[in-house]
Each structure stands twice: as structure tokens, then as C-alpha cells.
Amino acid sequence: MSQPVNPADADLDYLRKHVLALQNVLIRKGLLTYAEVLQEVHRLEAVDHDAGARVVARAWSDPAFKQRLLANGKSALEELGIEPGSYERLEVLENTDRVHHVVVCTTCSCVPSPLTGTTPDWYKGAAYRSRVMQEPRAVLREFGLELPEDVEVRVIDTDVNRRCLVLPLKPPGAGGLTEDQLAQLVTRDSLFGVGQPAGPVGA
């Protein structure tokens, strides 16, 4: 019987022990101080997915920007004044009526954090990382996302050098909204492909 993907199930004890061990090694070698660790923790806790929502909203409303985003993600982020991070490449995966992308990192938990915010616990969990590769539709159902059978599901395994962001489908009825209004529809889960954007109120 497969282990369900519970958003609260993140193998936290396992991850915590490894993070603390690495932290202690870096501090002992003089490469890091505890104050710097706390500063980074506080910075990450303050990050949400607003930047990713801005990127998606611009792509939904500006076809030329969308093409630049799909061609060179990091360069397109710079147009919006968003610092993409130190990884080599940002790959943006466009969902369509025929293809739905889901992002995973099977080796660790790599995400484009300036865009998606703090890494979700479920994304770091062994249940998600192992099962989404083998049975993506079952995993998506556990997140409440049921896709039509004629939609192809593509699971994309990211890594430390290549981060991935899903460009979700623009919701029906959102055609007349401003970029700011569109950004409010973008959910964090939709940036990973395990959810969909919210529909406009009244749509």
C-alpha cells in the first residue's frame, strides 16, 4: 500500500538532523556563524510566493513577456527586478489544455525560492518525492486536483543547477483583470503544479 502524500508529512526529523549536522560543521570550520544562520532563517520565513505570482500575472497579460520567460527564465525575471538566485538555469513549464506539468526534486528539495517562497513541507517529504514520479495522478488527487484523462501529466525532476517553475493556465473569466488582480489568483501550489490558480470572484 502506497504512503499517502500528507502536506504535514515531511520526514522532518530526518531532515532536521541532516540540516543541523551540516550547520554545525560549517560553524566549526568558521565558514558560518550562528547569527548568520538565524538571519537566513528569518529571511526565508518572510518570503512568500508574491514574486512568482507577479511573474505569472505578467505572462498571462503580456504574450511577448511569456515567450521571453519560456525561452530564458532568469533573464525575464531581471526585467521585473526579481533576483532569481544562484542556480544556473530557471526552466518555466507552461501548462496548457493538453499538458499539465508537476515539479519534484527527487534528490533533495530544490526550488526557485525567491519565486515560490519557503519550501513546502510536503515537497521535502519522501512520500511526495518517490510517489509523484510513479503515480502522479494519484498524488494530484490527494491534493484535490483531478485532471481529465485526455490531459497528459509530465513530471519534471529538477536539480541543484536547474530550478523549475510551473506557468499555470489562466483561469476562465480572468480576461479583464489587471496584473495585480491576476497575481491574487496565483496559488503557491499552482507554481509547483499540484494545484490550480483560484478563479475570479463571481466567475
Does residue 105 share a domain with residue 25? no
Residues 124 and 32 grouped into a single domain:
no
Catalytic residue among 2, 86, 110, 113, which?
110
Q: What pTM was estimated for this model as a whole? A: 0.79
**Does some domain include residue 66?**
yes
Collect all residues with Cβ–Cβ distance below 8 Å to 167 and sequence separation of at least 6.
56, 59, 66, 69, 70, 92, 93, 94, 95
Please indicate, yes or no, whether residues 28 and 119 belong to a single structural domain of this protein.
no
Q: Is residue 178 part of a domain?
A: yes
- What's the rounded mean pLDDT across residues 143-162? 95
Residue 112 falls inside a structural domain: yes
Mean pLDDT of the chain: 87
Name the least confident of 1-15, 109-123, 140-154, 172-186.
Answer: 1-15
Whether residue 178 sits in one domain with residue 147: yes
Whether residue 134 is contained in a domain is answered as yes
Q: What is the pLDDT of residue 145?
A: 96
Are 113 and 164 part of one and the same domain?
yes
Give 33's pLDDT tier (boundaries 50, 70, 90).
Answer: confident
- Has residue 199 been placed in a domain? no
**Same structural domain for residues 39 and 54?**
no
**Tell me: the pLDDT tens digits for 84-97?**
888 899 999 999 99
Q: Is the pLDDT of residue 127 over 50?
A: yes
User: pLDDT at position 8, please?
Assistant: 44
3-state secondary structure 59-114: HHHCHHHHHHHHHCHHHHHHHCCCCCCCCCEEEEEECCCCEEEEEECCCCCCCCHH
Please pick, among 2, 61, 86, 105, the residue that the annotation labels catalytic: 105
Q: Residues 55, 154: one domain?
A: yes
Residues 33, 112 within the same domain: no
Condensed to tens digits (0 to 9), the pLDDT of residues 44-103 reads 554 589 999 999 999 999 999 999 999 999 999 999 999 888 889 999 999 999 999 999
Q: Is 164 a catalytic residue?
A: no
Number of domains in the chain: 2
Q: Are 164 and 26 in contact (CB under 8 A)?
A: no
Instruction: Provide the CATH number for the domain around residue 80.
Output: 3.90.330.10
Q: Which domain holds residue 144?
A: 49-192
Q: Are residues 114 and 37 in the same domain?
A: no
User: Which position has the grid cell 504574450?
Assistant: 63
* 59 assigned to some structural domain: yes
Q: Is residue 4 part of a domain?
A: no
From 61, 109, 113, 190, the catalytic residue: 109
Establish if 109 belongs to a structural domain: yes
Is the CB of residue 125 less than 8 Å from the CB of residue 192?
A: no
CB 100, CB 151: distance < 8 Å: yes
Spatial distance between the Cα atoms of 168 and 199, rounded to a whole number of angstroms: 12
Catalytic residue among 2, 61, 86, 108: 108
Asked whether residue 55 falls in the same domain as residue 41, the answer is no
Same domain, 87 and 179: yes
**What pLDDT score was predicted for residue 28?**
86
Same domain, 80 and 152: yes
